[in-house]
Amino acid sequence: MGVISYLAHRAHTVPSSIHVAVEGGRWWLSFAANDTDVILPGNTVDVATEQIAEDLRHMSPDHLAERTLGGDRGVAKPLTTSDRQVFDLLSVQKTRIKPSRHHSQRWQRRAARRQKSSKNQKKAYRKVARYQQYERNVRQEYAHQTSHALVANAAYDLYVFEDLRIKNMTQRPKAQRDAQGRFLPNGRKAKAGLNRAILASGWGQVVAFTRYKALRAKKLVILVPPAYSSQECAVCTFTSPDNRPSQAEFVCQRCGHTDNADHNAACVIAQRGIRKLLSGEPLTKAHKRTRIFRTLGPERSEVTPGEISVRRLGPTAPAQRSMSQELPGAIPETPALTREG
CA distance 215 to 55: 13
Cβ 230 vs Cβ 265: under 8 Å:
yes
- For residue 162, indicate whether it is catalytic: yes
Buried b (16+ CB within 10 A) or exposed e, 143-166: beebbeebbeeeebbbbbbbebee
For 201-270, list the strands marked E by DSSP. Answer: 220-224, 249-251, 258-260
Closest CA to 210 of 65, 331, 98, 81: 81
Residue tagged active-site, from 23, 37, 162, 242: 162
Q: DSSP characters for 297-324?
A: -S---SPPTTEEEEESS-TT-EEEEETT
Residue tagged active-site, from 50, 66, 163, 262: 262
Task: Give 288's contacts (C-beta < 8 A, 6+ positions apart).
Answer: none
Task: Give 197's contacts (C-beta < 8 A, 6+ positions apart).
Answer: 75
Residue 24 burial (CB count, 10 A): 15
Residue 19 burial (CB count, 10 A): 10
Cβ 132 vs Cβ 196: under 8 Å:
no
CA distance 192 to 265: 26
Residue tagged active-site, from 72, 88, 141, 326: 72
CA distance 272 to 226: 10
Specify which residues 221 forms β-bridges with.
159
- For residue 72, indicate whether it is catalytic: yes
- For residue 333, indicate whether it is catalytic: no
- Give Cα separations from 140 to 104, 149, 208, 338 (angstroms): 19, 14, 11, 63
Active site residues: 72, 162, 262
